[in-house]
Chain A
Amino acid sequence: MKSKARLMQGNEACVEGAIAAGMRFFAGYPITPSTEIAEFSAEKLPLVGGRFIQMEDEIASMAAIIGASLAGVKSMTATSGPGFSLKQENIGYAALAEVPCVIVDVQRSGPSTGLPTSPAQGDIMQARWGTHGDHPIIALTPSSVRETFDLTIKAFNLSEKYRVPVILLMDEIIGHMRERVELPDISEIEIINRKKPAVSREEYLPYKADDDLIPPMACYGEGYRFHVTGLAHDETGFPTNNPAVADKLYRRIVDKIEFHKDEIVEWEEQNTDDADIIIISVGGVARAADTAMKQLREKGIKVGTYRPITVWPFPDKRLVELADRVKAFVVAEMNLGQMVLEVERIIKDKAKLIKVNKVNGEAIYPEEIMEKIEEVL
């Protein structure tokens, strides 16, 4: 059965994607511009036998989804900047204890309460380094309603496969935008589930990784009677102070993402073959970048676009290649310059770097990108 095209908001597409991916538990706390994700989840989850809970705050919501995931249920929470800050300690817990879960952050401008209902991309660095200590993270940034659906599924798949918290880093433009989308039939969607232990309780070592650096995961209630802690632990899952064991653990959880980076990273590029200038942007800004590129091309200026879909890990290899032959990169983002730091690190001084930044609560318009480019030409 093919589902019909329907007008849908980004936040709704996120919930549709999550349920398609197998989400059966959502815990959240209302915050604009992410609230519709909680509302749609509350409505849709019990219809498929899942459960929703509005917790007392974002810390509790993050804790609850980790607990639910350990009990074997795919889980998600959604928030915006202030709530994302509150979740950070427990996001680190999920990273160290290797508990699959999805955290949606529909960004706002900040710091603090900021501009609650206006678009921004202020959490690009918080998504990467928000929790303390060295840790793995994956963050995906959709730039359309349909892509929000697809990337929510991808977020669950990656988190299940690599046992890592995955952040769906949205912005208000995408979260509240309505587009007609046709969702794929469930049977056409690839769903990945965490790998389970193939051994008995006696033989099971909860943190002994396979060659792919990922340990198989039992869940509570299955009789494995295993221990999970946020302390540094050995393969048995119990705390250790042994420097060599702690070192191995921290390196493994970071390496498991690093080693699979080529499978994980995704980006989209347009007209890069002959481009002199490439606009780099994500989420809602990528739509303005698209328009800017088209209009500049009409004027004969060779502009291309590069849109990281996984903003973390950042798709750097291709950017290095492009840096060798373009004159300039324009990094447009709704913050005072976060993603540009990563771009700078990657391209070094091989090409010129132009920044387009906006933090006043308004979207970046194509004209603003075009003006910047025409200025430097």
Chain B
Amino acid sequence: MPSEIVNKYFRTNKLPQIWCPGCGHGIITRAITVAIDKLGLDRDKICIVSGIGCSSRAPGYMDFDTLHTTHGRALAFATGIKMANPELKVIVITGDGDATAIGGNHLIHACRRNIDITTIIYNNNIYGMTGGQYSPTTPKFDKGTTVPYGNVDKAFDIPALAIAAGATYVGRSTAYHTQLLISLIENGIKNEGFSLIEAISVCPTYYGRKNKKGSAVEMLEWQKEHAVNIAAASKMTPESLDGKFLIGEFKNSPEPEYTREYQKIIDRLKKE
């Protein structure tokens, strides 16, 4: 018998997942179900949508209404679902490539509309599924199969991108900082509007190996040692923040939600 949470929210006959040993995607996926459980949501009114990638395979294991779409387009499919039935809680699971490369345009527009969708980006800094090509979040000078001499592209800062584009709830955590991740996802789902949570994952198979980052365990340890919560960071000196990255809640400022605003038009027209 699997644990209560897994038994309740996973399609246990599909487990274990296709992911490699130590892949961070499994940690994040469980975290999402814990957040859903904590919120006590009606699971039959939740729809989980993904694109294409290792990360986007997650919904197939989750016992909800699930939709595995085309590469990069999860947010556009999700927008249609939410518009068709605003009662549904729509959650999007996507990868760094899926969300910020091929799906980058959909991402900024979903942020801008503030449509009630909670998006979790499984960021492993690489295209995992296709075998380790660099992505828009591969750090500069790192390696991938298509940057054999080191990456010259500058990486996206996903939360900064989402905030600039208008998302109303934005946070970042890591596979290691699982409790924080759960609470960010919980708050993201609670926010009636567009929420974006960057979940820094680990891909030991490609990103790890290509960049000599060691095993999954070592990669998680790196997360532990280099992440600083934004709340603590304000009290730290710039020197002590050198080489670190921020995690935590970056933005939480609700604004009118898209489908509700549209509903107001429908209601007004009905009266006229």
Q: Which residues on the B side are within 8 Å of A223 (C-beta)?
A: 44
Most chain A beta-carbon neighbours within 10 Å: one of B70, B78, B269: B70
Q: Which residues on the A side are within 8 Å of B265 (C-beta)?
A: 46
In the complex where A56-B109, A239-B60 touch, is A220 in contact with B81 (Cβ < 8 A)?
A: yes
Q: Establish whether residues B44 and A93, one from each chain, have CB atoms under 8 Å apart when the complex forms.
A: no
Most chain B beta-carbon neighbours within 10 Å: one of A24, A57, A90, A227: A227
B45 at the interface (CB under 8 A from A): yes
Cβ 8 A contact of B83, one of A68, A93, A239: A68
A300 at the interface (CB under 8 A from B): no
Q: Establish whether residues A51 and B83, one from each chain, have CB atoms under 8 Å apart when the complex forms.
A: yes
Q: Establish whether residues A71 and B60, one from each chain, have CB atoms under 8 Å apart when the complex forms.
A: no
Instruction: Classify the interface of chain B: helix, strand, loop or mixed.
Output: helix
In the complex where A60-B106, A220-B65, A225-B63 touch, is A66 in contact with B80 (Cβ < 8 A)?
A: yes
Q: Which residues on the A side are within 8 Å of B44 (C-beta)?
A: 221-223, 225
Q: Establish whether residues B266 and A221, one from each chain, have CB atoms under 8 Å apart when the complex forms.
A: no
Most chain A beta-carbon neighbours within 10 Å: one of B60, B67, B269: B67
Q: Establish whether residues B81 and A229, one from each chain, have CB atoms under 8 Å apart when the complex forms.
A: no
Q: In angstroms, how far is the closest chain A Cβ from the Cβ of B49?
A: 7
Q: Which residues on the B side are within 8 Å of A24 (C-beta)?
A: 84
Q: For the complex, what is the distance from the CA of A222 to the CA of B81, rounded to whole Å?
A: 13
Cβ 8 A contact of B69, one of A27, A61, A93, A225: A93
- For this complex, into which size category does the number of interface residues on chain A fall? 35 or more
B14 at the interface (CB under 8 A from A): yes
Tally the A-B contacts, defined by beta carbons under 8 Å: 131
Residue interface bits A223-234, CB-to-B below 8 A is 1, else 0: 111111111000
Q: For the complex, what is the distance from the CA of A245 to the CA of B7, rounded to whole Å?
A: 28
Q: Establish whether residues A90 and B88, one from each chain, have CB atoms under 8 Å apart when the complex forms.
A: no
Q: For the complex, what is the distance from the CA of A89 to the CA of B59, rounded to whole Å?
A: 21
Q: In angstroms, how far is the closest chain B Cβ from the Cβ of A92?
A: 9
B85 at the interface (CB under 8 A from A): yes
Taking CB atoms and an 8 Å cut-off, the chain B residues in 38-77 that contact chain A are: 43-45, 47, 49, 59-60, 63-70, 73, 76-77
Q: Which residues on the B side are within 8 Å of A89 (C-beta)?
A: 70
Instruction: Classify the interface of chain A: helix, strand, loop or mixed.
Output: mixed
Q: Which residues on the A side are within 8 Å of B191 (C-beta)?
A: none
Cβ 8 A contact of A221, one of B14, B65, B78: B65
Q: For the complex, what is the distance from the CA of A45 to the CA of B80, rounded to whole Å?
A: 15
Q: Establish whether residues A90 and B70, one from each chain, have CB atoms under 8 Å apart when the complex forms.
A: yes
A13 at the interface (CB under 8 A from B): no
Cβ 8 A contact of A64, one of B47, B67, B83, B87: B83
A110 at the interface (CB under 8 A from B): no
Q: For the complex, what is the distance from the CA of A46 to the CA of B271, rounded to whole Å?
A: 12
Q: Which residues on the A side are within 8 Å of B79 (C-beta)?
A: 27, 53, 55, 60, 63-64, 67
Q: Establish whether residues B60 and A60, one from each chain, have CB atoms under 8 Å apart when the complex forms.
A: no
Q: For the complex, what is the distance from the CA of A56 to the CA of B103, rounded to whole Å?
A: 11
In the complex where A66-B77, A67-B78, A238-B14 touch, is A53 in contact with B83 (Cβ < 8 A)?
A: yes
List chain B positions with a Cβ less than 8 A from chain A: 14, 43-45, 47, 49, 59-60, 63-70, 73, 76-81, 83-85, 87-88, 105-106, 109, 259, 262, 265-266, 269-270
Which 6 pairs between the two chains have the least Cβ-Cβ distance? A67-B80, A64-B80, A63-B76, A68-B84, A60-B76, A71-B84
Q: Beyond the given A27-B83, A63-B73, please list 13 additional residue pairs across the A-B interface where CB-CB is below 8 A.
A: A25-B84, A27-B79, A53-B83, A55-B79, A59-B76, A63-B77, A67-B67, A68-B84, A69-B80, A72-B84, A73-B84, A89-B70, A228-B68
List chain A positions with a Cβ less than 8 A from chain B: 24-25, 27, 46-47, 49, 51, 53, 55-57, 59-73, 75, 89-90, 93, 220-231, 238-239
